[in-house]
Structure 1
Amino acid sequence: MGQARETMDRITEAILAGDRDALRREYADDAVGEAPDADRLDGGDAIVEYLISFRQAFPDLSWEARATFENADSALDEGLLVGTHTGTLSSPEGDLPPTGRSLRLRECDVITVRDGRAVSHRFYYDRMDLADQLGLTASGTAVPAPRAGTDQEPETVIP
């Protein structure tokens, strides 16, 4: 396991634990983040605040890994964020009060690491799927059930 994978794993653990200090240690001061619901996140502090606000909105947040990838300086995690929206979700568009709805959101993270700290963190997920699952769209569909075969171990790819 390389430095990028270890950093990604520590970031995931810190997010799930809601540990702001541990999370902050994983990002360089000049780190840059990108997310579907936020423009550029400049600096480690901005990335940490983004992640902690999501964790506060979903206090029971868990992660179901589907695939991981690593190369010399980058790591990728693909999977599902699972939780219940019982806290306020802060976003650039404003605060969303708790809906009490369950979430099972497909998501992908990509980090690039330099000197043992993340310098780039890109988040990918479908904003409409998030809004739909929280009941914020006309369709307001229920949380999708796991697909057949999800009891398989996550795929790990290391070139």
Structure 2
Amino acid sequence: MSDLAERRIRVVRDHMHLETVYDWDGVIATFAGHPRYEMSTGQVFDGEASVRGYFNASRSVFPDQGNEVIAIAHTGNTVLVEFWLTGTHLGEMRIGDRVIEPTGRKLRMRMAASFEFEEGSDRILVERPYYDQAAVARNIGIEL
């Protein structure tokens, strides 16, 4: 594995760890100057203010949200990660027009994310997490 691939994998591991300890400044610093999340739901959080808003909103639903890396791989300008998303449902969750009150249930759901890098760089251009909102709801005992 090349030195660049190893550095990119380290940056992604650091990025994911920083998310679990809510070090938002540290997470922002893993990006190439302009943070961006493109969610599988179609939502895009583009720029620091938008990304910080996403962090605040998602952590209000699962305030102890974390992740546990299962597998990680580097290919081209991308790092792919499979992980467990964990947390406790302690805040209101919105799915479409529906508001789901806190259940207090634990979440443990397998997910994936891709991290795209600029050619020759070890700074993230965009993170793309892949998940199904309905599967999140089912995982905490909510049928839609």
Q: Once the two structures are superposed, what CA deviation does each residue of 1:94-124 show, in whole Å capped at 9, x if it has no partner?
A: 8754221111111111101233321111110
> Matched residues in 2 for 1:57 and 1:82: separation?
12
Compute the displacement of 1:11 (Å). Answer: 1.2
* Alignment-derived partner of residue 113 in structure 1: 117
Q: Which residue of 2 aligns with 1:125?
A: 131
Alignment correspondent of 1:151: none
Determine if the alignment matches structure 1 residue 135 to structure 2 residue 141.
Answer: yes
SS of the residue aligned with 2:104? coil
Aligned partner of residue 2 in structure 1, secondary structure: helix
Q: Which amino acid aligns with 2:132?
A: D
SS at match of 2:111: strand
Contact 1:34–1:41 (Cα < 8 Å) also in 2: yes
Question: Any conservation in 1 of the 2:95–2:133 contact (CA below 8 Å)?
Answer: no
Is 1:59 matched with 2:67? no
The answer for unaligned runs of 5 or more in structure 2 is: none
AA aligned opposite 1:17:
V
Give the number of the structure whose residues are more often helix, by fraction: 2
Q: Is the 8 A contact 1:4 1:72 kept in 2?
A: no
TM-score w.r.t. length of structure 1: 0.70
Aligned residue for 2:125, secondary structure, equals: strand
Matches for 1:85-104 after TM superposition, within 5 Å: 85-89=89-93, 96-104=100-108
Q: Are 1:81 and 2:85 an aligned pair?
A: yes
Letter in 2 for 1:102: K
Equivalent pair of 1:4/1:112 in contact (CA under 8 Å): no
CA contact 1:34–1:122 (8 Å) conserved in 2: yes
Cα RMSD of the aligned pairs, angstroms, is 2.7
Q: Label 1:65 to 1:21 Cα distance change in 2 as closer, same or farther (>3 A).
A: same
Tell me by how many angstroms 1:91 deviates: 7.3
Residue 52 of structure 1: how far off its partner (Å): 4.2
TM-score (norm 2): 0.77
Deviations 1:53-82 (A, max 9, x none): 323422333322221101353211102112
Q: Which has the higher strand share?
A: 1
